[in-house]
Structure 1
């Protein structure tokens, strides 16, 4: 009976680890290489204090912590002709101009750990980028080269 109890505990521990892995956000970053980024990955971390103005007009200044977009660009080997980052969640995508994006981060934390559903971590956060392009619940970041006739995507 005792060994049965131990086996049951091991299964429960495995189930907890599997659940934690599913709940830990993972972001696919695509350039010439593809890398998977999660909060525990060994990439530089940075803090960024940034004011985000949502499309609704609500403004919030917070301190965010995450991986610098420049480090992601290096890790995924973004091409020199990259003009935008296509940042995607399950139901939204936006093309963000590369220059302001490179000064931003993909945030996994917000000061005060205030993820009340409105924060939508992980989130792209960058100064000089309109709020509707600061995608929440990021799942994928891709380097894209838009030509002059192409409209950057948002929606």
Structure 2
């Protein structure tokens, strides 16, 4: 299977599960089903997320390491930020802490809202407002010196 061109399979209802486009020099499409296959590595991270409301929670998240996605999508060497986008929100995350994160398709624990907001970008040391929920796209970007990273 060619990782750059793989599309997620339809589920039993004929609908495609949520998928995320990862854009560098190549485009990779990632879904929860692909995190359980052999073509992408799977990782688990324990991260504390502090929401804009001030609520903090430490959870175990499972998904694909961002550094593996960067390799699969062939992020250019001049990449300074990871642009994380949902339908209604986007944030630019400095590339170094972003590479230590994961694109999570699962959240462990007994919380009733365990699947709410997935897929989600999570990484330790990244402010909560940049840990985007319901991610649709990750893109390698090169911001110019003095250019403000997007959040909102």
In structure 2, stretches of 5+ residues that fail to align are 1-9
SS of 1:148's partner is: coil
- Following the alignment from structure 1 to structure 2, what is the Cα–Cα distance between the partners of residues 53 and 15? 33
TM-score, L = length of structure 1 = 0.84
Which of residues 102, 119, 126 in structure 2 aligns to 1:122? Answer: 119
Q: Which runs of 4+ in 1 moved over 4 A?
A: none
Residue 30 (1) aligns with residue 23 (2): yes
CA-based RMSD of the aligned residues comes to 1.9
**Matched ranges for 1:9-48 at <5 A:** 16-19=12-15, 21=16, 24-41=17-34, 42-48=39-45
- Following the alignment from structure 2 to structure 1, what is the Cα–Cα distance between the partners of residues 122 and 70? 15
- Following the alignment from structure 1 to structure 2, what is the Cα–Cα distance between the partners of residues 88 and 70? 17
SS of 1:78's partner is: coil
Aligned length: 139
Structure with more helix by fraction: 1
